[in-house]
């Protein structure tokens, strides 16, 4: 089944236009910052207070493209689909650093300021999350996507074709959800921002898009788990896919949590997936 929105050409086209849009949005955000004094409410808007904040906008667009890549790779490999989820979380954390840098308290001689402490904690969290993503790929055996497909074929067996077709249909449903949520989130963020620019902030995109999108990712993870039960009775694979569901739920909960709890949930979510993949590999070594 050759679905147009999941072809290599379409992915390249979407990636190129996402990059163009990110560059244009960066320039527009910088211009709004420069002329904020002439915009009603612009001087009070946290989103326009510092030029560093302008980096937040193009990152938000690139993150939405990364969400598309999650769906793109779902039909090819469950493992790399989960890896893409972790990559999106890591990019969200990196984007958050730009928000933190914009509000750093540089007038104090120590790190006792709350903003400074939050920035230091987020830097450490980004490093740990990035390292865990690295280990996830390493434990998967390879970074090459073709080898992921060969590994899944070995796990599922002769009924792989039916499993892949089922995942393609699931990917198509997720893509439709992705488009609807993307358009809805765009208007839910941009329209109120320009109507009340003094209340504009840099965290709304997580709440209006990714929090909802991860709800659908949890559903898709459960469906993949049920499909794997239908096409395979391989115990390590079933446990691995079950752990991926738990991992996605923990990551989703991190969007609604605040402060240290959110950071702990992110590390637990990614770390749990990495650890269970490690145990899965140990089982494979027994055969």
Structural tokens at position 86: 């972790």
Query: DSSP state, 52?
Result: G
Q: Are 276 and 245 in contact (CB under 8 A)?
A: no
Residue range of the domain that includes 171? 4-286
Alpha helices in the chain (DSSP H): 8-34, 56-74, 78-102, 114-140, 145-156, 160-195, 204-205, 211-231, 235-256, 259-286
Across 183-202, average pLDDT: 62
The model's pLDDT over 231-274, given as tens digits with 9 standing for 90+, comes to: 667 788 888 888 999 999 999 888 888 778 888 999 999 999 99
Distance CA 222, CA 278 (A): 21
Let me know: does 220 contact 170? Beta carbons within 8 Å: yes
CA-CA distance, 76 to 234, in Å (whole number)?
A: 19
The number of folded domains in the chain is 1
Question: Do residues 145 and 77 lie in contact, with contact meaning Cβ atoms separated by under 8 Å?
Answer: yes
CA separation for the pair 120, 207 (Å, rounded): 23
User: Could you tell me the pLDDT band of residue 144, with boundaries at 50, 70 and 90?
Assistant: low
Q: Is this structure's pTM higher than 0.95?
A: no
- Out of 15-24, 204-213, 277-286, the most confident range is 15-24
**Average confidence score pLDDT of the chain:** 79
């Amino acid at each position: 089944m050759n679905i147009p929105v999941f072809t290599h050409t379409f992915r390249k086209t979407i990636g190129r236009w996402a990059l163009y849009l990110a560059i244009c949005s960066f320039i527009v955000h910088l211009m709004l910052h420069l002329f904020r004094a002439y915009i009603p409410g612009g001087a009070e808007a946290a989103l326009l207070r510092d030029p560093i904040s302008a980096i937040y906008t193009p990152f938000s667009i690139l993150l939405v493209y990364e969400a598309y890549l999650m769906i793109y790779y779902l039909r090819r490999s469950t493992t790399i689909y989960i890896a893409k989820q972790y990559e999106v979380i890591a990019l969200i954390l990196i984007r958050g650093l730009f928000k933190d840098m914009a509000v750093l308290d540089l007038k104090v001689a120590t790190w006792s300021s709350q903003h400074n402490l939050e920035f230091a904690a987020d830097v450490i969290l980004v490093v740990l999350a990035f390292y865990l993503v690295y280990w996830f790929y390493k434990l998967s055996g390879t970074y090459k996507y073709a080898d992921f497909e060969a590994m899944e074929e070995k796990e599922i067996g002769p009924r792989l074709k039916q499993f892949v077709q089922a995942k393609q249909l699931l990917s198509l449903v997720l893509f439709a959800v992705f488009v609807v949520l993307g358009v809805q989130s765009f208007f839910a963020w941009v329209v109120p921002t320009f109507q009340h620019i003094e209340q504009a902030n840099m965290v709304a995109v997580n709440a209006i898009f990714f929090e909802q999108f991860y709800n659908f990712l949890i559903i898709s993870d459960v469906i993949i788990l049920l499909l794997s039960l239908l096409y395979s009775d391989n115990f390590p694979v079933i446990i691995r896919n079950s752990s991926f569901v738990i991992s996605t739920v923990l990551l989703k909960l991190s969007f609604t949590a605040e402060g240290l709890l959110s950071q702990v949930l992110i590390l637990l979510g990614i770390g749990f997936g990495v650890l269970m993949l490690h145990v899965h590999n140990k089982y494979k070594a027994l055969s």
